[in-house]
A and B are shown apart, each in its own frame.
Chain A
Amino acid sequence: MKLQGRVWKYGDNIDTDVIIPARYLVTTDPKALAAHCMEDLDQTFAKEVQPGDIIVGGSNFGCGSSREHAPISIKGAGVSCIIAESFARIFFRNAINIGLPILECPPAARDAQKGDVLSVDLAAGTITNHRTGQTYQASPYPPVVLAIINAGGLVPYARNVLGVQMKG
């Protein structure tokens, strides 16, 4: 799968409380959560984000709480992919589980600037920055993570594992 989008650039240790503050965790609706995504960090994000945009973070992106609402709000905002130097482990699992592409690639994350256009080839794990022309290779996924991604997330993966037929 190939993606292309504009960069929203953030720093190190972006925590789930700024991605989606707890005061909004009274719903699980992706669109309702997306309306407040990044609100305490960047009030322009939810208003100006375009479908396909890419979030680029520093190290330990998504640290803090286990709330799956964090990647759900980002996905609900139309973001196609997150690229960071590293991810907090619960956030990483949550994003993979809900089918939000997420790539660890320190040089690509460091070099990207707000507004840059990136192309991402998910199957190859490559990221190209259109401003600089540079192409980067992201860290490969462990086999089990790849299997979940290929299934389309943990729910369809679980259906396969449990041998449950798709209904309807």
Chain B
Amino acid sequence: MGKTLAEKIIAAHAQDTDEVSAGDLVTVKVDVVMANDITAPIAIESFQAMGVSEVFNPDRVMLVPSHFAPNKDIKSAEQTRTLTLFAEEQALTHRFQVGRAGIEHVVLPERGLVLPGDLVVGGDSHTCTYGAVGAFATGMGSTDIAFAMATGTTWLKVPETMKFVYYGERRPWVYGEDLILRTIGEIGVDGALYRSMEFTGPAIHALPMSDRLTMTNMVIEAGGKCGFMPYDEVTEAYVQPRATRPYTPFFADDDAVYHSVYEFDLSEMEPQVACPYSPDNVHPISQIKPEKVDQVFIGSCTNGRFEDLAIVADILQRTGREFHPDVRVMIIPGSQAVYLDALRQGWIELFTLAGAAVSVSTCGPCLGGHMGVLAANEVCVSTSNRNFRGRMGHRDARVYLANPAIATASAILGRLAHPDEL
């Protein structure tokens, strides 16, 4: 009987067995353990409480300050200091600091630190992002992360897998964000609860890596445990020059057993928008009231990569327009490498002249931490991944999730807009 990607990668990491099937409980070896400035402090405390003195492998524990970086207040500074001191004390190989890192889910794939065939656990729900490069990657809480840091292992229930097949040519202004929003709108925020999501089909093979990372990033928004893009030429071209160590890609068997299969025809699909207050409250842009917008946020681990900023730059350059004077526009590159690339392209100047505030890489407003928190009744278009009540600030603020082109058009026109309206 054929195996899914989740089954194959888990089997390759399982301690007591060579073959696993959905539903099995197994102890697995982990390749990388990650945590951020919110989850690492508790993980470090639990690690110490476990009575352990050394992490399982200093090459493979990565602590990235991202959420409140640069430290927004004394308390967040204390949290980051915990990470810094622990990284020094444990002599961790890979160190991450403001100005030299960014958001973990942009930085780790970009630096070839998470690789095809890896099993990664991260103290952040969006750890599932790394499935775009073919890793089994899943989010966990701090104490689970402490256990993995201490032992290099964790326990897992082998997930069932849902298969999502995309075909047809993408229309203009349709990106990975739209494919995943459409998918979450279809299955709901608990539609993939506890399961793996495999994305495949001709339209996926035609998708650039940045869009693939956007899609696997939002697997958790359907409740998924992990998500996978197929390993193909696009993956290889992205991973090979970056890989920091040898890796083995895995492929799903043709006769693998799936929980369910969904198909999407992209030839008629418009850009999609998730309306307040849930990532599954998804509608095509043409069916959404062109509400006035107070803030636009372009960035995050969902859409803060070079290709995402290229969409913004392209629209500004093609139209010669500036951002609407009544809209606060926050553009936040997902990593310092993205920031530098954008700078070299002249985009930081372009964005600034158009009226945007361009900042150092951080999660910032996505989780309502800082750098653009919303007031009551304010409306924001955001390229991030969650629009729960209170997520970006006041509980009565309203967030629409959309791709960078919709966000840019909305920032220019001061209301929810399609780029064709420019």
A: which residues have CB within 8 A of B? 12-13, 15, 17-18, 21-23, 25-28, 39-41, 59-60, 63-69, 71-72, 86, 88-91, 93-94, 97-98, 142-144, 153-155, 158-159, 161-162, 164-165, 167
Contacts of A65 in B (CB 8 A): 124-125, 367
- Shortest B393–chain A CB gap in Å is 8
Are B190 and A18 neighbours in the complex by a CB distance under 8 Å?
Answer: no
Q: Which of B's residues lie within 8 Å of A, judged by CB?
A: 25, 38-39, 41-42, 45-46, 49-52, 67-68, 73, 75-76, 79, 122-125, 127, 139-144, 146-147, 150-151, 155, 157, 189-190, 193-194, 220, 223, 225, 278, 367-369, 373, 386, 388-391, 395
Q: Which residue of A lies closest to B127 (CB)?
A: A66
Chain A residue with minimal CB distance to B41? A28
Residue in contact with B141 in the complex, picked from A25, A59, A86, A93, CB distance below 8 Å: A93
User: Which residues of B have CB within 8 Å of A162?
Assistant: 50-52, 150-151
- Indicate which residue in B49, B73, B123, B151 contacts A155 across the interface (CB closer than 8 Å): B49
CB atoms of B42 and A28 under 8 A apart: yes
**Which residues of the other chain, A, contact B390 by a CB distance below 8 angstroms?**
17-18, 21, 39-40
Q: Which residue of chain B is the closest to A92 with respect to CB atoms?
A: B194
| B25–A93 CB distance below 8 A | no
**In the complex, what distance in Å separates the CA atom of A114 from the CA atom of B72?**
39
Known: A23-B369, A155-B46. A86 touches B143 (CB 8 A): no
Complex: A41 Cα to B396 Cα, angstroms: 11
Contact status A66-B124, CB under 8 Å: yes
Contacting residues, chain A, for B225 (C-beta < 8 A): 89
Question: Contact between A26 and B68 (Cβ–Cβ < 8 Å)?
Answer: yes
- How many angstroms between the C-alpha atoms of A13 and B389 in the bound complex? 12
The answer to whether B123 touches A64, judged by C-beta atoms less than 8 angstroms apart, is no
Once the chains bind, are B190 and A13 in contact (CB under 8 Å)?
A: yes
CB atoms of A159 and B51 under 8 A apart: yes
Q: 15 A-B pairs, CB-CB below 8 angstroms?
A: A17-B388, A22-B369, A25-B38, A26-B79, A39-B390, A41-B389, A65-B125, A67-B38, A94-B142, A97-B141, A97-B143, A155-B143, A155-B146, A161-B151, A162-B51
Residues in A whose Cβ lies below 8 Å from that of B190:
12-13, 59-60, 63, 86, 88
Asked if B395 and A158 sit within 8 Å, CB to CB, the answer is no
Residues of chain A within 8 A of B123, CB atoms compared: 66
Q: Contacts of B38 on A, CB cut-off 8 Å?
A: 22, 25, 67, 69
Which residues of B are found within 8 Å of A86, using beta-carbon distances? 190, 193
Chain B nearest CB from A19 CB (Å) reads: 10
* Alpha-carbon separation in the docked complex, A60 to B220 (Å): 12
A94 CA to B79 CA, complexed, in Å: 20
- Residue among B52, B194, B388 facing the most chain A CB atoms (10 A cut-off): B388
B25, B73, B122, B147: which contacts A26 (Cβ < 8 A)? B73
Q: A86-B190, A162-B151 are in contact. Are A93 and B140 (CB under 8 A)?
A: yes
- A142 partner residues in chain B, CB cutoff 8 A: 25, 157
Task: Report how far A53 CA is from B143 CA in the complex, Å.
Answer: 25
Q: How far is the CB of B188 from chain A (nearest CB, A)?
A: 9
